[in-house]
Structure 1
Amino acid sequence: MKNILIIDDDIHIGNVLEETLAKEGYSVIRAYSGTEALLVLSTTHPDLVLLDLMLPGLNGEDILPHIKDVPVIVVSAKVDVDNKVDLLLNGAVDYVTKPFNMKELLARISVHLKNTESMRVSSELTFEDIVLNTNTHVVKIGNTEIKLTRTEYAILKLLMQNPTQVVTKSLLLDRISADTPDCTTSSLKMHISNLRKKLREVNNKDYIEAVWGIGFKLRTE
C-alpha cells in the first residue's frame, strides 16, 4: 500500500483528500504545519507528498528542500507562474492549483508514483534488507541510512551487483580503482572490515563473508 503524506492546515481540504485517497487504496498521514511536517518526515518515508504552501510556522517553500527522494506535488491557491517555476526547479514534480479537480489530482498522483517506481527499479540494488541507490549513493538497511566512505560504497555496490558470486580481491581492486585510488591490496582488508562493522551495527547481522584465499561474497542463509 502506497503511503501519502498530506501537509495542509486546511482541515476540510485535508479531510476530503484523506477520505478520497483511502477509498483509492492509499494509506494517509497528515501534518498541519511546517514544523509538524518536518517531524513526521524525520520518522517516516512516504511514497508521495501533497504539499500546501501557506502553512503556519515554516511554509511550503521552506519545507521542500528537506524532502529527499520523494515526489512532491504542490497543491496551492497561489497561481503566480514564476512561483510555480521556482518550485518545480527546486524539487517539486508537479503543481496543482486550488480549487482542483479530484479526478485530475488522483491521475497525477498515480502517474508520479509509477514514474518514481520505475526510477527506483532502475537505480536501486537490493540484497535482503539492504537498499543501495546508485543515483543518490544512499545506502539503507530498513529505514536506517548507513554512512559509508567512497571506497566502502564502491565495494558494497560491486558485491550487490554480484550477489551470488565470490568477488575476487583482484577483481574488487580492478573494478573500484578508478573511483577509489586510496584502496590498495594492503588496505582492502581494512575497508572490508569497516564496511562489515557499519552494516552489522544496524541489526547485529553480518552481510559479508570472506572466502579464504579467494575474495568476498554476500552472506546467504
Structure 2
Amino acid sequence: MTRGQMLLVEDDAALAELLIYHFRREDFDVRHTADGEEALLLATEAAPDIVLLDWMVEGLSGIEVCRRLRRMPETQNVPIIMLTARGEEEDRVRGLETGADDYVTKPFSPRELVARVGAVLRRVRPALAGEQLRYADIEMDTVGHKVRRDGELIALGPTEFRLLRHFLEHPGWVFSRERLLDAVWGRDSDIESRTVDVHIRRLRKAINVGGRPDIIRTVRSAGYSLDAGS
C-alpha cells in the first residue's frame, strides 16, 4: 500500500528524476509532468494526495496551476508544496496566498523535501502519515491489521481491509468503481468492476453489524463514499 499519490510538476529533468527516486523509495506513487496544462489534466483524471509544484514550468506558470487547483472541486483540499528558486519574502507570501501549503526554496536536499512533505501530510492529511486511521466511530490499526467500530473488534477479509483503508484515507471523497479497482486491486487487475459491488456489500455487512448506521454512501451514477452524514 502506498503512502499516497503524488503529482510532481517540475521541468528540470535531472531534479525530477532525483525526486521521483527518493519519493518512490518512501512508498509514494509518483506521477510527473513538466507542463502546467498537463498537470491540471492529470489532477482532474485522478486527484493526487499531494502536489509538488515548481513555480517556473512549461505552459501555465506554477502559481497559476496552484490557483486553478484550488478552484477545482476535485483538488481544492489537496496539499500543495511549491518549489522555486525565488527566495524573496514577497514571492513566498504570494505563493502561500494563492493556496500553497508550504514553500521550499532551491537548492534543497531531497531528504529535507521528504521531511517537509511528511510534515504537511501530518498537518493536512494525518491519515497518510500515521499508523492509526480514524473516521466517525471507526478506528484502523494499519500495522496490527485490526479494525474497531465503537470500540468493538471487526473481522474483515484482506480485500475488505484494503477497501476500508482507502476510504479512511479519503473520507468524504466519491470514488467510481474503476477508481476503486485501481486503488485497491491495482491498475493491472483484470477484475470486473462489478466485483467492487460484491466487496462493498461484504464490507457493509461487517462494519454495520449490530444495526450500526451505514456510513458507506452509494452515490448514484458515481460510485461510493465514506460519509457519516449519509
Q: TM-score, normalised by structure 1?
A: 0.59
Q: Which amino acid aligns with 1:201?
A: S
User: Paired residue for 2:212, among 149, 164, 169?
Assistant: 164
Do structure 1's residue 6 and structure 2's residue 8 form an aligned pair? yes
Aligned residues of 1:130 and 1:140 also touching (Cα < 8 A): no
Give 1:8 shift. Answer: 0.7
Measure, in 2, the Cα distance between the counterparts of 1:18 and 1:28: 6
- SS of the counterpart of 1:201? coil
* Corresponding residue for residue 140 of structure 1: 174
Do structure 1's residue 102 and structure 2's residue 110 form an aligned pair? yes
Do structure 1's residue 60 and structure 2's residue 62 form an aligned pair? yes
Aligned residues of 1:9 and 1:33 also touching (Cα < 8 A): yes
Superposed counterparts of 1:68-217, under 5 Å: 68-118=76-126, 140-142=174-176, 164-165=212-213, 199-203=219-223
Aligned residues: 157
Measure, in 1, the Cα distance between the counterparts of 2:127 and 2:32: 26
- SS of the counterpart of 2:103? strand
Q: Which amino acid aligns with 1:109?
A: V
Q: Which amino acid aligns with 1:164?
A: R
Q: After TM superposition, where is structure 1 displaced by more than 4 Å over at least 4 residues in a row?
A: 119-126, 128-131
Aligned residues of 1:52 and 1:74 also touching (Cα < 8 A): yes
Deviations along 1:90-135, one digit per CA (max 9) or x if unpaired, are 2111110111122211111111112222389788899x7988x99x
Q: Which amino acid aligns with 1:7?
A: V
Give 1:28 shift. Answer: 0.7
CA RMSD of aligned residues (A): 3.7
Measure, in 1, the Cα distance between the counterparts of 2:114 and 2:167: 32
Q: Which runs of 5+ in 1 are unaligned?
A: 145-162, 167-195, 206-217
Q: Which runs of 5+ in 2 are unaligned?
A: 70-75, 139-163, 181-210, 225-229
Q: Between 108-117 and 33-42, report the one with greater CA deviation.
A: 108-117
Note closer, same or farther for the CA distance 1:58–1:123 as it changes in structure 2 (3 Å cut). Answer: farther
- SS of the counterpart of 2:77? coil
Q: TM-score, normalised by structure 2?
A: 0.57
